[in-house]
Structure 1
């Protein structure tokens, strides 16, 4: 299980970081390159929903595997809170708080997730 946790943590960090990069870069690209305005992969909502499909299972598996190892409720809570916030950002936040609010929520959620996975990874290596 520790190997699955390590791989899951690394994948989850990469996917969460991809969310942040997407949220920051997309508006810049849409302003700088008007020809890309209609490209579907740049659409925030579609991108978030596709990414959620991968982030949620990987995140849940890695966070729970880490919790079984280190028993830190703070790390578990941070990861689950991040996944919940990311789910809200990818599903209903746009309608509730607009595009800027959705972007901020996605970035905050991703930071919680990345923090939790980094702590999972550190705890795993610290215990060895």
Structure 2
């Protein structure tokens, strides 16, 4: 592990990046719903399952790195547990048909994951 990456973990930068990614996910979900509602022809790009699966993989990687490091560094497992719950809800949403229910569960999972990252960041102070 490089010194700059270790420094990013220690200062909570990875948690802040993960929280920002959660915010982008919320914006994506909201924008996609709006775009699909207004312009059904634009749905092909953002509605692709691969786009959502890649986002989940990125969320899992960032969560494992930041929340795992936090659990080791500050010794609190609760942020990692809450973040894992959020990831599980997000993964479960991928099994649903596209629609309002999938969006609600995705946004719920993203919010829970962001809470886990926020708690992790606060515990590391």
When normalised by structure 2's length, the TM-score is 0.81
Secondary structure (helix, strand or coil) at the match of 2:99 reads: helix
Which residue of 17, 23, 26 maps to 1:11?
A: 17
The Cα shift of 1:21 comes to: 1.4
Render the CA deviation track for 1:52-84: whole Å, top value 9, x for unaligned. 121111111111111112222321210111111
Higher RCO (CA 8 Å, separation ≥ 6 residues)? 1
When normalised by structure 1's length, the TM-score is 0.80
Secondary structure (helix, strand or coil) at the match of 2:66 reads: helix
| Distance 1:108-1:34 versus aligned 2 partners, 3 A rule | closer
- 2:38 paired with 1:32: yes
Name the count of aligned residue pairs: 119
Provide runs of 4+ in structure 1 moved above 4 Å: none
Distance 1:2 1:68 in 2: 15
| 1:117 counterpart residue number | 117
| 2:96 counterpart residue number | 93
